[in-house]
Structure 1
Amino acid sequence: MSEQIEPGEAVPMNAWQAAATDLAHCVRFYSRLPVPALPWEQDAHALPSFPRLVRMIPVAGLLLGLLPAAVFGFALLLDLGPWLAAILSVAAMVVTTGALHEDGLADTADSCGATTIERRLEIMRDSRIGSFGASALFLALALRIAALAALSSRLDGGAVIATILITASLSRTAGLMPLVFLPPARRDGMSQAVGQPARETFWFAAGIAVVLAVVLGVLADLPFAGIVLMLVLSGLSGLALTRFAKRHLGGQTGDIAGAAQQAAEIAALIGLLTVLPA
């Protein structure tokens, strides 16, 4: 005899529905894309639970890279040149994510001008951008654009498109490292509200990110040494920002996670460039 579901009671989800729900929550959280409510979702716009949905972040990152990758490829088809293609691609990612990670990088950079943890956290909450933040934002955008333009002169368009997808997935996975390995720096911040992911779940997500990077890299005929460097350098960037946050704030914030994502993306792109002949 089947169990009766009372009105208002949550309907149990199977494994595939749970994975799809977590993926939808990830895309909603990390982007401005209009993701419709899934048929079985009770509250499509509830605050996501990071301890559960972390496993789908590499896949969500891959999805977020689709529009920037398509824009890059279309720009090349229109013969707009590598620099304009790179600028349009990075702009597409900024629009897709609402500059979520760039904002975190700028706030983190601005906090470097303060001498106490309390003042650093106060600066990171300030919506205004300072000279450190503006400089970091400009340099990060310039490095991403220049790296993509340089890659397009050494790889075919399909390989660069694959690289955009790989870095979108790897960098967002690396951006989780401060959230996983450090306690929240504040009791009332977003990182406290969404919950701290378990390390086991993070390593599962990291495994998915590695598989996606290797499969896409092999299919795009990227050099294996380049794939390895992308994996290693994105991970080391996440670790470096984690260590920085521990000394700088005594914990992590969402802004630190955004800064880690930006650092990981730039490191992965430059890592691939170093093994490609000029």
Structure 2
Amino acid sequence: MAGDPADRWEELKVGLMMLTRLPVGRIAGEAPSVAASAWSWPLAGLAVGAISAATYWLATFLGLPGPLAAVLGVLALVLATGGLHEDGLADLADGFGGGRDRERMLEIMRDSRIGSYGALAIGFSLLIRVLAIGTLACWDAIFGFLAIAAASRAVMPAALHLMPPARGDGLGNGASGVSQEAALAAALLGGACLLPFGLLDAALVAATMAGAALWLGRRAMARIGGQTGDVCGAMQQVAEAVGWLALVVVQGATG
């Protein structure tokens, strides 16, 4: 994105603060808005993906089998983010599964307690990712940790640009107003991180991830009338899980 590099750096720091537990230091002067930082969210994904990839590589270097290395890689990702997006997925699943109308769904989603729908959603999300990663060759999994962590976080700026907030407060409302430029920059960054798999495979994986996020976004529009922080987190999780499945398919088809 064009502009002062110092401003872009501060926006990246806000993005890392929002999406990770990584120490980034203090913001110099007035902090940029969450919406202004949205372009950088795939880079935040790249950072946590690098931690996961390094953990996975170390596990395989020490002789652990692929599935166990995959568990440790995903665990590193969850620790680096504090389970932020998993929490959103659980809240959304509980709200959509247990609420009969918009108000009740939003009420359940705001409740910090996890219900059966949320527990199942997190369980299947983790299971899909671990099993998919465990089937891949080592270097495909390493590049996958980097690429899919980045690309799955590119769907959230698009949601915040295209979807209205479902409530008048909360993270979704505070982060609304993401510009078209920021959403496009995030999409380009996320897509570029998939290119090591080749142009065709990258396009297929990206399209699958975008389609999954679009499906969930349409469900959210129909059921609660817009986006919330939980909706964005759930979209990231769905895109990530589907991205790993798509990578397994395309690598199997071309391997």
TM over 0.5: yes
Matched, 1:42 2:36: no
Shift of residue 275, structure 1, vs aligned partner: 2.2
CA distance in 1, matches of 2:198, 2:181: 30
Q: How many residues align?
A: 250
Residue deviations 1:104-158 (CA, integer Å, cap 9, x gap)? 000000012211100000000001111111111100010011111011xxx2x23
Residue deviations 1:5-55 (CA, integer Å, cap 9, x gap)? xxxxxxxxx7211111111111111011111126xx125xx5x51332122
Aligned pairs for 1:1-278 within 5 A: 15-37=4-26, 41-42=28-29, 46=31, 49-112=33-96, 113-151=98-136, 155=137, 157-214=138-195, 217=196, 222-277=197-252
CA distance in 2, matches of 1:239, 1:272: 19
Shift of residue 60, structure 1, vs aligned partner: 1.8
CA distance in 1, matches of 2:247, 2:200: 8
SS in structure 2 at match of 1:65: helix
Shift of residue 175, structure 1, vs aligned partner: 2.7
Shift of residue 178, structure 1, vs aligned partner: 2.5
CA distance in 2, matches of 1:229, 1:269: 12
| Residue matched to 1:9 | none
CA distance in 2, matches of 1:71, 1:142: 18
Asked whether the 8 Å contact 2:152–2:190 carries over to 1, the reply is no
CA RMSD, aligned part only? Answer: 1.6
CA distance in 2, matches of 1:63, 1:227: 20
Amino acid at match of 2:133: L
CA distance in 1, matches of 2:162, 2:57: 37
| Residue matched to 1:10 | none
Structure 1 unaligned blocks of 5 or more: 1-13
Higher relative helix content: 2
Shift of residue 224, structure 1, vs aligned partner: 4.2
Asked whether the 8 Å contact 1:175–1:259 carries over to 2, the reply is no
Residue deviations 1:241-274 (CA, integer Å, cap 9, x gap)? 2111100110110000000000101111111111
TM-score, normalization: structure 2?
A: 0.93
Larger Rg: 1
CA distance in 2, matches of 1:195, 1:232: 24
| Residue matched to 1:3 | none
Amino acid at match of 1:136: A
Structure 2 unaligned blocks of 5 or more: none
Asked whether the 8 Å contact 1:23–1:53 carries over to 2, the reply is yes
